[in-house]
Structure 1
Amino acid sequence: MADVIFFEKPGCGGNARQKALLEKAGHRVLARDLLAEPWTAESLRPYFGDRPVADWFNRAAPAVKSGAIVPEAMDEAAALAAMLAQPLLIRRPLMRVGDRRECGFETERVDAWIGLAEGVPDGRLEGCLRPGMAPCPPPRRD
C-alpha cells in the first residue's frame, strides 16, 4: 500500500470521507493543511498534470460561485497566480504518492492509480455535504 501525502482543507467533510476511503484500502494518509502550505507556482503546477485549467479549480470556492473568478476564462499563469493568492480556489484534495501528483478525488482515477477498497462509489467523491449545500458540479469539458 501507499503513503499518500494528502493536502486538505482542515475540517472539510469531503476530505474526511476521502481519507477514510484511502485508509480503508490500506493506505497511510499523511494529511497536510492545503491552506497553510507555502505554495509556489512551481510546487503547485505538477498536481494538475495535463488537465484543462478550468479543472484545477474548486467549484465551491466563494470567488468561483460568485462569478468573481471564472475558471474557463483563465490561462495557466493567471490560474496559478489566483490560487497562490487565494488557496481556497485550489481543487481538493491534492495528493502525492512518490513522484506522481494528482488533484481532486475521481474514484476511478484514484483506484487505477493506487487502488481503493471494494464498494467505493463511481465518479467524483468531492463536494460539500453540509446541510443546504449542493455537491460541486463536475468539471466542464468545453
Structure 2
Amino acid sequence: MAEVVFYEKPGCAGNARQKKLLEEAGHRLIVRDLLSTVWTDQTLRPFFGARPVAEWFNRSAPAVKSGAVDPDALGEDEALALLLADPLLIRRPLMRVGDQSVCGFDADMVDDWIGLARRPAGDIEGCPKPGMAPCPVPLRG
C-alpha cells in the first residue's frame, strides 16, 4: 500500500472521514497541518496539476462564501498568491504519494490512483452534514 502525505485542516470532520477511508485501504498516512505549513509557489503549485484555477479553491472558505474571493475570475498567478496568503482558501486535502501530488478527495480518482477498500456514496469532500457549522479554525501563532 502507499505512504500518503496528507495535508489537512486540523479538526475538519471531512478530512477525518477521508483519512479513515485511506487507512481502511491499508495506506500509511503522514498527516500534516495544511494551515501551519510554510508554502511557496514551488511547493504548493504541483498539487493542482492541470486542474482549472477555480478548482484549486475551497468553496466553503469564508472569503469565497462571502464573495470577497471569486475563484472563477482569477488567473493562475493571482490565485496562487491568494492561496499562499490564506491557506484556508486551499481545497483540501492535499495529498502526495511519491512524486505525485493531488488536491481534493474525489473517491473515484483516489481509488484509481492508489486504491480504496470501498468507494463511499455521495460527496466525501464537503462537511458530513448539511448545515453543519464550519470546521474549527485553529489558532496560529
- TM-score over 0.5 for the pair: yes
Q: 1:72 and 1:9 mapped to 2: Cα distance?
A: 23
**Is 1:121 aligned to residue 120 of structure 2?**
yes
After superposition, what is the alpha-carbon deviation per residue over 1:69-113, rounded to whole angstroms, capped at 9, x for unaligned? 000000000011001110000000000000000000000100000
* Contact 1:105–1:124 under 8 Å retained in 2: no
Deviations 1:19-63 (CA, angstroms, capped at 9, x unpaired): 000000000011000000000011100000000000000000000
> What letter is aligned with 2:113?
W
Percentage identity across paired residues of the two chains: 67
Determine helix, strand or coil for the equivalent of 1:60. coil
Structure 1 residues 124, 46: CA separation in 2 closer, same or farther (over 3 Å shift)? Answer: farther
Query: What secondary structure, in the 3-state scheme, does the structure 1 residue paired with 2:6 have?
Result: strand
Query: Which one scores higher on RCO, CA 8 angstroms, separation ≥ 6?
Result: 2
* Structure 2, unaligned runs of 5 or more: 134-141
* Structure 1 residues without counterparts, runs of 5 or longer: 135-142
TM-score w.r.t. length of structure 2:
0.90
SS in 1 for 2:109: helix
> Residues of 2 paired with 1:105 and 1:131: CA distance?
18
Moved over 4 A (4+): none
Tell whether the 8 Å contact from 1:95 to 1:101 is kept in structure 2 after alignment.
yes
CA distance 1:81–1:111, shift in 2 (3 Å): same
TM-score by length of 1: 0.90
User: How far is the alpha carbon of 1:125 from its aligned partner?
Assistant: 1.1
Match of 1:75 in 2: 75
What CA distance in whole angstroms lies between the structure 2 residues aligned with 1:112 and 1:122?
A: 16
